């Protein structure tokens, strides 16, 4: 078998960094993307581009020819959607269609990008991979879809159909965030002096995008089949992270810290407006809850078994600021 590595969702924030690191390690890489995908993140990279449609199994079969490793980086993260159906369509239904194809090929490793949202909460200490999600009812459609997706992958392992490893990835920050991601956009706004306030009391697990990509690559080498790995550098105070981005960019950091009770009041009005208008609004109680509900977590297992060593998140914030603030190409 050829040693070709297929990255599905290769033009995305994480996928493009996985492609870059696989190439730097001397691998032959096939970038699986939609025919209409924005390829700016892959510009200048020496990889083959394969057009993939998850609703078209033949496109996947073609892309898998000669492939030994697959890194699956497709996800819909729009937790604020009033109607969660698109989340289940992308995160679960299309994934299951793709898994039916992947299981027909003798892959050495299938590395699946999941989320720390599938890890359970604890009252004290650090949560780890042994704890299944115990707060789905509070997580809304996004968390429910991600738990179902992860379970679908692990079911394939249980049935002996797929050599899969699951990575539960924290919020990622860094350069080449072209879209940008919702949390990356807050870094951009802070760096450009356009973030007037932060939310007090919001803490979350975070990791540099380069280190998250490195974890996927390492999982392809060292990951134990059927295992989950928490991929995070630290449990960070989000308000301080965005203030740091502003200071690094030479901007005045946001002086106002809005308390959570006030934000929940505002978010409740957002929920009422959503129901009345039928329009999606990012500021809703569901999105706000996901900013602070998860427990601090241990990434010891990833460090021990994947030989993974994350770098301080502030370095990634610097790279993100440099990316967002660089002059446009001429």
Residue 222: pLDDT band (50, 70, 90) is very high
User: What average pLDDT does this structure show over 303-310?
Assistant: 98
Here the CATH number for the domain that contains residue 103 is 3.40.50.720
Decide if 151 is inside a domain.
yes
> If you search the block for the tokens 């968390």, which residue do you land on?
143
For residue 146, report the phi and psi dihedrals to the nearest 5 degrees: -75, -35
Decide if 327 is inside a domain.
no
Decide if 241 is inside a domain.
no
Decide if 80 is inside a domain.
yes
> If you search the block for the tokens 């810290």, which residue do you land on?
257
User: What average pLDDT does this structure show over 48-71?
Assistant: 97
Q: Is the peptide bond before 309 cis (omega within 30 degrees of 0)?
A: no
Decide if 14 is inside a domain.
yes
User: Is the model's pLDDT at 328 over the cut of 60?
Assistant: no
Per the CB < 8 A criterion, the answer to whether 178 and 322 are in contact is no
Decide if 324 is inside a domain.
no
Instruction: Determine the Cα–Cα distance for residues 255 and 29; give it in Å rounded to an integer.
Output: 46
For residue 181, report the phi and psi dihedrals to the nearest 5 degrees: -65, 160
Instruction: Determine the Cα–Cα distance for residues 160 and 162; give it in Å rounded to an integer.
Output: 6
Per the CB < 8 A criterion, the answer to whether 27 and 217 are in contact is no
Decide if 274 is inside a domain.
no
DSSP string, 154-179: HHHHHTTS--EEEEEE-EEE-S---S
| Structural domain count of the chain | 1
Q: What is the pLDDT of residues 165-180, one digit of tens each?
A: 999 999 999 999 999 9
pTM: 0.95
Q: What is the residue range of 105's domain?
A: 4-180+204-235+296-313
User: Is the model's pLDDT at 127 over the cut of 50?
Assistant: yes
pLDDT of residue 326: 80
Decide if 269 is inside a domain.
no
User: Is the model's pLDDT at 72 over the cut of 50?
Assistant: yes
């Amino acid at each position: 078998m050829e040693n070709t590595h297929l990255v599905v969702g290769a033009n995305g924030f994480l996928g493009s960094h996985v492609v870059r690191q696989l190439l730097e390690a001397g691998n032959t890489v096939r970038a699986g993307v939609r025919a209409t995908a924005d390829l700016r993140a892959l510009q200048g990279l020496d990889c083959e581009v394969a057009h993939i449609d998850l609703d078209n199994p033949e496109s996947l079969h073609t892309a898998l020819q000669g492939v030994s490793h697959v890194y699956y980086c497709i996800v819909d993260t729009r937790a604020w959607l009033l109607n969660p159906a698109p989340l289940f369509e992308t995160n679960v239904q299309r994934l299951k269609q793709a898994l039916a194809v992947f299981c027909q090929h003798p892959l050495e490793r299938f590395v699946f990008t999941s989320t720390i949202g599938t890890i359970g909460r604890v009252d004290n200490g650090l949560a780890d991979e042994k704890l299944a999600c115990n707060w789905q009812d509070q997580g809304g459609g996004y968390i429910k879809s991600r738990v179902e997706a992860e379970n679908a992958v692990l079911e394939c392992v249980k049935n002996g159909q797929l050599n899969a490893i699951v990575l539960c990835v924290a919020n990622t920050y860094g350069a080449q965030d072209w879209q940008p991601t919702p949390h990356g956009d807050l870094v951009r706004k802070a760096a450009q002096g356009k973030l007037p306030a932060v939310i007090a009391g919001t803490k979350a697990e975070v990791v540099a995008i380069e280190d998250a990509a490195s974890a996927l690559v390492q999982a392809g080498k060292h990951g134990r089949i059927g295992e989950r790995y928490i991929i995070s550098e630290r449990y960070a105070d989000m308000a301080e992270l965005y203030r740091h981005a502003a200071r690094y960019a030479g901007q005045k950091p946001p002086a106002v810290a809005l308390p959570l009770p006030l934000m929940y009041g505002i978010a409740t009005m957002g929920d009422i407006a959503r129901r009345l208008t039928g329009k999606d609004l990012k500021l809703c109680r569901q999105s706000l809850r996901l900013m602070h509900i998860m427990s601090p977590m241990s990434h010891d297992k990833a460090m021990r078994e994947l030989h993974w060593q994350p770098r301080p998140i502030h370095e990634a914030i610097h790279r993100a600021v440099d990316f967002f603030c660089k002059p446009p190409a001429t």
